[in-house]
Amino acid sequence: GGQLGQELQRSVPDNVQLHAMDSRSLDVTDRSAVHSTIKQLTPDVVINAAAYTAVDKAEEEKEKACAVNAEAPRYIAEACEGLSCRIIHISTDFVFDGSKSSPYLPDDPVNPLSVYGASKLQGEQNLPSEALIIRTSWLYSALGNNFVKTMLRLMAEREQLGVIVDQVGTPTHAKGLAEAIWAFTEKEEGEGIHHWSDAGVASWYDFAAAIMEEGLAAGLLQQAIAVRPIRTSDYPTPAVRPQYSVLDKTATWGLLGCEPVHWRVALRRMLKEIGA
């Protein structure tokens, strides 16, 4: 039911039979339900696109965040044991603390700063070594709620916006991530941790400025507004976020044999889809 789940359904290959379940049809925090569902379907691959992603709210809803992000992967691993079933699990750049100044490699030390990041890391650790874990960042899509659609709405409503300039990462179009996941299902190799986002680097301010510029060009915005860069200290939030969380995708691009797509090109494609 999330933006990645919907993109996976829209891009499912012709040779794949997909059983897509939202939170209403399968509560991933219900151990017995997870076990019975997987045992009944006996799938070749389980893609876990379920996540508690309200980063700030997780600080006060730790048990709920951990149930979805940490315990559910363990239930999936238990249910898949003995079934010759591959697990593809989606994780996050927030497992890192942002102290590095060059893109994070899959085997770099982890040190999450928030409940959300810690719960996602625990989810990784609750999976067997043969599971395939894909860390991604700053996910958005034409479907669901995300930063891009929020910015478009606020830019249409306000005369100015302040956006964080000292947190740096890479936006990821969920459509591209879905296609990468399907490519992984075709690969016999690929266990362990992999990184995936679009190419390039941006601060949230850079991302917002591009959204406005591309939104105007696509006819989704009628006029430009003032977008001001602000510091994290000017806009304190309950959860601490890494100041630098760019992921190194070189190995993943090589394994899948794909050409990197710059995040701005992907953004343009997504806005075109919204405007169609």
Residues classed as catalytic: 116
Query: Residues with Cβ < 8 Å from 131, sequence gap 6 or more?
Result: 77, 86, 87, 88, 89, 191
Cα-based distances in Å from 204 to 53, 184, 193:
17, 29, 26
Instruction: Name beta bridge partners: 137.
Output: none
Question: What span, in angstroms and rounded, lies between the C-alpha atoms of 119 and 226?
Answer: 37
Longest dimension (CA), the chain: 58
Amino acid (one-letter) located at 86: R
Question: What span, in angstroms and rounded, lies between the C-alpha atoms of 156 and 258?
Answer: 36
Q: Are strands 168-169 and 202-203 parallel, antiparallel or unpaired?
A: antiparallel
Burial (Cβ within 10 Å: 0-12, 13-18, ≥19) of residue 85: middle
Burial (Cβ within 10 Å: 0-12, 13-18, ≥19) of residue 40: exposed
* Phi, psi angle pair for 61, to nearest 5°: -120, 55
Token digits of residue 228: 């001001």
Task: Give the DSSP H or E segment for 135.
Answer: strand 132-136
* Phi, psi angle pair for 256, to nearest 5°: -85, -10
